[in-house]
């Protein structure tokens, strides 16, 4: 999302765990019939459609034109927008905002918190999940070590994975009351056996690997796999060290 666009087909075909895990976040949101709800970082729209099934009027927003195009094709009757939450505006305030696995792509967390407060009604609720402190830390450390050892490159960190207290304080500073928050380990098994880590890096890793010359790519991917194999390859599949931050808050 930070560089270039997403591969929506690869996302749907091989990374369905992103929205499969998100269905319990929809339960936390508890959408009601007639509510106006914004889904921030809606991707290919599957959770947006789950929310709409509860009778809510849902608006899906994503920075990626490819993701929104796929969402529109899957669910043509729902409302979709390409845009950045920080500058997004809508004619009416929302009853609730939902966001799954998206906000860690925007390091400007203060800009995001201000936008969430601006878009919600007083009393409106926020149900979000994102990577929390320590998310994919083993993977990120291995990628950084390999890039340093092989190419003397230090990639900039593309992700924002806050601690629970840090994120709760940020929301409180921007007009929210945090009602519940959890930081928990959620080891995440990847599809496609041996190829799973490469597919994940292809889908999500371009901000880390973007500076790798094409002719060195195979060498770098193999070195990352070999470094991580003893810790993250289990029973024939890769299992990433996901840690989730989940928050339920109310706009004051
Ligand atoms: C996540 O959902 O935690 C995540 C996805 C892609 C890159 C980094 C983190």
Quick one: what percent of the chain has pLDDT higher than 70? 98
Q: Is-contact 226 194, C-beta < 8 A?
A: no
- pLDDT digits over 47-91, tens only? 999 999 999 999 999 999 999 999 999 999 999 999 999 999 999
The atom number, within ligand 1, closest to the CA of 205 reads 7
**Is 60 exceeded by the pLDDT of residue 2?**
no
What does the alpha-carbon distance between residue 179 and residue 227 come to, in Å, rounded to a whole number? 40
155: which DSSP letter? Answer: P
Give the sheet arrangement for strand 233-234, strand by strand: 188-189, 237-240, 233-234
Average pLDDT, the chain: 96
The protein residue with its alpha carbon nearest to ligand 1, atom 3, reads: 131
pLDDT at res. 4: 58
H helices, E strands: number in the chain: 11, 10
Q: Is the pLDDT of residue 202 over 60?
A: yes
**What residues flank ligand 1, with Cβ below 6 Å?**
101, 104, 131, 135-136, 159, 204, 242
Domain ranges, ordered by start, for the chain: 8-133+159-191+241-251
Using DSSP, state whether 47 is helix, strand or coil.
helix
Q: Ligand 1: which atom is nearest the Cα of residue 101?
A: 2
Fold of 8-133+159-191+241-251: Rossmann fold (3.40.50)
Determine which residue's CA is closest to atom 2 belonging to ligand 1: 101
Q: Is the pLDDT of residue 3 over 50?
A: no
Q: Which residue is closest in CA terms to ligand 1's atom 7?
A: 204
Q: Ligand 1, atom 6: nearest CA belongs to which residue?
A: 204
């Amino acid at each position: 999302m930070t560089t270039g666009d997403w591969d929506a087909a690869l996302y749907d075909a091989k990374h369905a765990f992103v929205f499969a895990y998100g269905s319990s976040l929809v339960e936390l949101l508890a959408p009601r019939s007639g509510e106006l709800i914004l889904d921030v970082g809606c991707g290919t729209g599957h959770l947006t459609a789950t929310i709409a099934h509860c009778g809510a009027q849902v608006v899906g927003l994503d920075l990626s034109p490819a993701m929104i195009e796929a969402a529109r094709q899957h669910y043509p009757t729902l409302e979709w927008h390409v845009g950045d939450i920080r500058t997004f505006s809508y004619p009416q305030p929302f009853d609730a905002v939902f966001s799954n696995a998206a906000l860690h792509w925007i390091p400007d967390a203060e800009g995001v918190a201000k936008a969430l407060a601006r878009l919600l009604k007083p009393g409106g609720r926020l149900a979000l999940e994102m990577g929390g402190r320590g998310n994919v830390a083993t993977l990120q450390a291995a990628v950084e070590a390999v890039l340093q050892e092989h190419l003397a490159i230090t990639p900039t960190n593309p992700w924002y994975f806050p601690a629970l207290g840090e994120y709760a304080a940020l929301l409180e500073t921007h007009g929210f009351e945090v009602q519940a928050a959890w930081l928990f380990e959620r080891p995440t098994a990847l599809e496609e056996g041996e190829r799973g880590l490469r597919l994940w890096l292809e889908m999500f890793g371009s901000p880390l690997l973007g500076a790798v010359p094409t002719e060195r790519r195979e060498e770098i991917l193999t070195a990352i796999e070999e470094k991580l194999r003893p810790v993250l390859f289990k029973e024939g599949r890769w299992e990433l060290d996901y840690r989730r931050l989940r928050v339920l808050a109310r706009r004051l």
